[in-house]
Amino acid sequence: MRIKLSLIAIFFFVCSTAMAQQNWGGGVDEERIHFGFTFQHTSSLYKIQKKGDWRAPFNDPDTGFPLTDSLSALYSKSSPGYGIGFVVNGRISNHVDVRLTPTLNFNNRKIAYEYVQRNPATDPTAPVSMPFYAVDQKVQATLVEFPLGLKIKSDRRNNFRAYMLYGAKYSYDITSKKKTDDAGNAFLYKLLKNRKSYLSYEAAFGMDLYFEYFKMSPEIKLSYSMNNILDNSTPNPYNVPIEKLMLRNVTFSLFFE
């Protein structure tokens, strides 16, 4: 709690400092093209579209023997991520810019599976091979992302300017094959996987704060994957109950230009 209050105090101090000065920013807004860098914190959450029979036990494809019990719950857990990137900003007019912000993002997404608990000693239909009744599937992702958007800016007031941004993002997962290779694992220990690449819609709002030699911009961005990102090429207990998997991100960024 103390850390959060300190961060809020620092943020308001920065804002008040920027507002108190006149015509700072190093002339960055007058340049046709300028560059910068960014630090990001991301919160990720899946939107899960389940199949009609998502509760059904998973049976061994070869023997038909039930490997899991029936599902009682299936839901996504919010997970944090971190990123660093660069900024390439092109000035179209005094109120419109086009921005490309290539970013390297690290994130572990989570889905929780909870199963009905039945005792094989008293229920002969209960699967005897299942060693757990609740499990979190973690999807490790190291993403190279290429967001492209239009930045629509308000008039500048002293050393403050608000803006909104709309665009799209291409993401490609460069996680090493060693971390996602489950070819030799039994079905119960297979991994939930996402597609290597996908597109997302994005919308953001933020503010430009001008200092003597640079501009800092805190920003909050919402992104939503356009298509299903579930990799169901190899059926297992974790992807079979899911029809579609969409990804939602909320990203807080600090830009320095």
Q: What is the CATH number for 6? A: 2.40.160.20
pLDDT at 182: 87
> Rounded to whole angstroms, how far apart are CA atoms 103 and 194?
19
pLDDT at 124: 64
Q: Half-sphere exposure of residue 85, counting CA atoms within 13 Å on the CB side?
A: 22
> Rounded to whole angstroms, how far apart are CA atoms 33 and 251?
25
pLDDT at 256: 97
Residue 145, CA distances (Å) to 15, 91, 105, 108, 159 in order: 29, 22, 7, 16, 30
DSSP 8-state assignment for residue 61: T
pLDDT at 8: 46
- The total of structural domains in the chain comes to 1
* Chain position carrying tokens 């419109």: 96
**Other residues' Cβ atoms within 10 Å of the Cβ of residue 245:** 24
Pairing of strands 230-231, 197-210: unpaired
pLDDT at 194: 94
pLDDT at 197: 96
Q: Chunk the chain into consecutive blocks of 10 residues (it has 257) and report each block's average pLDDT, rounded to whole numbers.
A: 45 47 70 95 96 92 84 94 96 95 95 82 61 83 96 92 97 88 87 95 96 93 96 92 97 96
Q: Domain limits at 201?
A: 2-256
Measured distance between the N- and C-terminal CA atoms of the chain, rounded to whole angstroms: 31
Q: What is the CA radius of gyration of the chain?
A: 23
- What secondary structure does DSSP assign to 194-231, as a single string? E-SEEEEEEEEEEEEEE-SS-EEEEEEEEEEESS--EE
